[in-house]
Structure 1
Amino acid sequence: MAKYTKKSELEVKARQALTDRGVNVEDIAELVYYLQSKYHNDLSMDDCRHNVERVLTKREVQNAILTGIELDMLAEQKKLSQPLQRTIEIDEGLYGIDEVIALSIVNVYGSIGMTNFGYIDKQKPGILKKLNDKSSGEIHTFLDDIVGAIAAAASSRLAHSDADALDDVDA
């Protein structure tokens, strides 16, 4: 049983990378609550945190986190070649690779995550507003989309688990 509860090195590094960039599980759980509270009368922050925690255990998610954050940091250090350096620095609107990486997270829990991601990416509530603020000098071209995707995936997971519970009641 212990092997199932121990975090892999990859997961530990991905979680630490989020923390180092100013994002914690609570921030993402608040986004899940924002997305799902109108659909679940009894939704708690504990439910939201639990679903975020489960999403963070997925290898695809961990790889996306580390890849995106690394690219953001390289751009901050001006270590990318042009024109990619400028494109990531300014988070150019037609550059969609940041969203493509985020979609690899969203797709872990089915297509409902796509609509959740699109909505939260446009709204930019909570931590997403902070990450999207260009005045800090930090570059979060990838991170804002990754965080939104984790919240969207956790919301999808929550929706699927509720649907599964309803199926059990109907049986």
Structure 2
Amino acid sequence: MTHTGEDTVHGGVRLRPPRNTLDGRALGWWRTQLLITTAVPVVVLGVLGALIAPARFWLLLPATILAAVGLGCTAILPRWWFRVHRWEVTDDAVYVRTGAFWQEWRIAPMSRIQTVDTVRGPLEQAFRLATVTVTTASSKGAIRIEGLDHEVAAELAQRLTLITGDTPGDAT
């Protein structure tokens, strides 16, 4: 659901901009992900270009272009994502806004939450970050709050578990 104002939706939950930003370390986490994603094909093309003399130009040219685009994206996109991504949890709902080009605003009323999970991949662990995944009965899928400090994520998961346990409804 994309929207810019504050409107009441079913159950009295208000659609409004979430208040919380992600942890600042998310910038480094995103940059590292982009660098790895860029480095793998660049290294493969570079090695092949070094080994296959007749195709050297046709392998090193795309490697150079890919490296330049990857470095540009690494410099620009994480800051942009950081400005856009927001989240908030109230006693009534989980609010999340994500997306760089197409912004997506999602609300999960507490009565619709089925599970709350915390995930920490290897890179997230290195940056002391975590992702909280809130699963609902929605066909749109789970809501993910990425780039949270791992302790904040654990506290958030515990808080959501307590709130949803006390919230009437069958989460369907």
TM-score normalised by structure 1 residue count: 0.31
TM-score normalised by structure 2 residue count: 0.31
Q: Could you say which structure has the larger radius of gyration?
A: 2
Higher strand proportion: 2
